[in-house]
Amino acid sequence: MIENSSEINHEKDQFNILLTGYEGPIDLLLDLAKKQKVDLSEISILALAEQYIEYINNYNKIHLEIAADYLVMSAWLTYLKSRLLLPKDEIEDEYTPEELEEALRFQLLRLEAIQKTSKNLYEKPLINRDTFYGGIEEGVKIKYDITYKANLYDILKTYSSLLSKKDSIQSLTIASSELYSVDQAIQRLKNIFGSIKEWTNIMSLLPNFGTNKIINKSSLSSNFVASLELAKNGLIEVNQKEVFGNIYIRSKN
Amino acid sequence: MSTLRDIKIIEAILFASGEPVSEDDLKDKIVKKSEFNNYIEEIKKHYENRGINLLKTGKKWSFRTSDELSEDLVIFKQQKRKLSRAALETLAIVAYHQPVTRSEIENIRGVQMGRGSIDHLMEIGWIKPGVRKNIPGKPTLWSTTDLFLEHFGLENINNLPNQDELKASGFLDKRAAIATITDLAKNDILDSKIESDEEEEKLEDFIPNT
Amino acid sequence: MSTLRDIKIIEAILFASGEPVSEDDLKDKIVKKSEFNNYIEEIKKHYENRGINLLKTGKKWSFRTSDELSEDLVIFKQQKRKLSRAALETLAIVAYHQPVTRSEIENIRGVQMGRGSIDHLMEIGWIKPGVRKNIPGKPTLWSTTDLFLEHFGLENINNLPNQDELKASGFLDKRAAIATITDLAKNDILDSKIESDEEEEKLEDFIPNT
């Protein structure tokens, strides 16, 4: 069992490592395509689809959160592949296989162009990396004009942290006030158990909180614990005939 | 005419370092060290009659602005100061919640505050008092100014990213697990209020039938 | 030959301020304001082949060290966080496709945006939120800033490298090529699976674990 799970983890990690090298499914496709041919506009989409599907299928246990985009692409390529292979007049659909192929080709070429361009852009002389400001202030009269350094980023960051601070405070308040505690349940049962002479379904004794799921559930569990507590103290009796069956209580006197 | 690379390097270093540089340090950076004096001469000549001159002080070289200009060379430099955290918070709240009263700001920040932040922001010119809110005490309503928009590069106050966009852009960090669970609970309660019929059906699934 | 005083003043101000100065501020300091462009041309030429160059970025002028010297000036290089590939691609898309929404960026990259790209680029000051797009949801349109131009030494946003090429090939088209189709597939195939899993998990949170 332990061996097994470590194996799965290993596979998972491997897949994630293989994927972290890529910036998404199109990036992976692009890489596969480049290995296939230099000129992307002449690439075989069918062969590419098969390669991609194989690549993804090699990993069964994958981390869904990371791989969702990749799986969607895999599903789409499987669909495209079947469309490309099937006789044309058999399926009626919004898009022809050629249109789908063309769309994918465009997506690949566009991302390739953007990737090349982003490199070119970043190779431009960048201030404080390749080129520098300077100058000497001596001999110049300088009058200072005080400006404040805040920028839009500071405002958004500050506002965001205020929001999350506020959120966590709010949820704490709600969490503590909305739940029905065991103490409350014990108090309540103590007040009413004297009148419960007959076996009574505990469900019918629960206070009604309407449709508030959370309180209802907390009330059910608190009352159950409270009934056990009171039974332990010899005040009431608890009875359940079958597993998951109804629970009945009655006063011991 | 193309200038020798060594000359360019001396120029660039003197310019970028912003203070006088020793001869030895300059020589370190060039190829033909024996030519150093000639290079210096060339540079001196190139700047002789310009707004900047090359000057030797002690054993160090530097550019400085021409003496004859000193009369009318007053430069306004912007000295940048950091805004305090309190002021930044106040500003962010005014930006997002305007028009807003001081006590509403205090509510959101969760602290009482003095006049300091508001006065300071008003002095800078980023917020302004507007009409008074029609509640007991008639407190002043604060909002941001056009100068605020200008300084922060916004065309319109509605262009500030909303909460969802802040989250999607990475500003709002993923909330702690406990907050998420209680948030779900909160949503649940809200949902059940709005779509109570549907919720009630689901509720049956989890509470054993009596 | 004696240089005009106005030219010297422009030179000296640009030199001493150590950062880009707006055209208006420069014109303020000289006598013959109508000659400004000629003065600038003269200065540009004088420094064309030197260690320092005159450059226009946005509406500001500055001296900066010649970029061909970058290897000799590494001593001044500031330690900077390296930009991730995701952030770099995002920056390129914002620069070339601006104004652009987050989901358009995601369409072009073919992947959901990682957290951190947009806020990181904003922290550096290279992109900013602009007006909202007039489509359902009114998403923010992102664009580059003047600081982006300044840092990359661009005179204006139409001077980006490879711009004409990209335009000619139709790659400045923001349309979601396969995203629309994958969206269909996603809705049909995966969303139902993944989301229902998620849903179930949420419900688990409310079933008492006894």
Has residue C80 been placed in a domain?
no
Beta-carbon separation of A134 and B17 below 8 A: yes
Task: Name the nearest CA neighbour of C72 among A51, B181, A130.
Answer: A130
Specify whether C192 is located in the same domain as C101.
Answer: yes
Element spanning C195, H or E: helix C192-204
Specify whether C49 is located in the same domain as C107.
Answer: no
Q: Which residue has the higher pLDDT, B181 or A193?
A: A193
Q: With 90 as the cut, is the pLDDT of residue B18 above it?
A: no
Chain A's closest residue to B168, CA to CA, is A160
Lowest mean pLDDT among A57-61, B15-19, B185-189: B185-189
Distance separating alpha carbons of residues C142 and C87, to the nearest angstrom: 14
Distance separating alpha carbons of residues C177 and A71, to the nearest angstrom: 18
Has residue B91 been placed in a domain?
yes
What pLDDT digit, counting tens, does each position of C73-118 carry?
888 887 666 788 889 999 999 999 999 999 899 888 888 766 668 8
Has residue B79 been placed in a domain?
no
Has residue C78 been placed in a domain?
no
Q: Reduced to 3 states, what is the DSSP secondary structure of residue C139?
A: coil
* B199–chain A Cβ distance below 8 A for any pair: yes
Split into its structural domains, chain B has a count of 2
* Encoded amino acid at B147, one letter: L
User: B56 phi and psi, to 5 degrees?
Assistant: -110, 130
The enclosing domain of B93 has a CATH number of 1.10.10.10
Q: Which residue has the tokens 């995203």?
A: C179
Distance separating alpha carbons of residues A246 and A240, to the nearest angstrom: 6
Mean pLDDT of chain C: 81
* A117–chain C Cβ distance below 8 A for any pair: yes
Has residue B80 been placed in a domain?
no
**Could you tell me the pLDDT band of residue B178, with boundaries at 50, 70 and 90?**
very low
Specify whether B49 is located in the same domain as B121.
Answer: no
How much is the pLDDT for A139? 64
Tokens standing for residue A121: 């852009």
Q: If contacts are CB pairs under 8 Å, which of residues 130-149 in chain B contact chain A?
A: none
Specify whether C30 is located in the same domain as C114.
Answer: no
DSSP class of residue A95 equals: S
Q: What angle do CA C155, C158, C163 make, to 5 degrees?
A: 125
**Could you tell me the pLDDT band of residue A186, with boundaries at 50, 70 and 90?**
confident
Distance of CA A50 to the CA centre of its chain: 29
What pLDDT digit, counting tens, does each position of C31-53 carry?
999 999 999 999 999 999 999 99
* A150–chain B Cβ distance below 8 A for any pair: yes
Beta-carbon separation of A168 and B176 below 8 A: yes
Beta-carbon separation of C119 and A156 below 8 A: yes
* Encoded amino acid at C152, one letter: F
Residue of C182, C195, C196 best to disrupt the A interface, most CBs of A under 10 A: C182
Has residue C131 been placed in a domain?
yes
Q: If contacts are CB pairs under 8 Å, which of residues 163-202 in chain A contact chain C?
A: none
ipTM at complex level: 0.72
Q: Which residue has the tokens 């592949």?
A: A81
Task: Name the nearest CA neighbour of A157 among C50, C125, B22.
Answer: C125
Lowest mean pLDDT among A50-64, A112-126, B83-97: A50-64
Q: Which residue has the tokens 């690549």?
A: A55
Q: With 60 as the cut, is the pLDDT of residue C201 above it?
A: no
Q: Tell me how close the Cα of A101 comes to any Cα of chain C, in angstroms.
A: 9
Range of the domain at C6: 2-73
Last residue of a domain, one of B29, B48, B73: B73
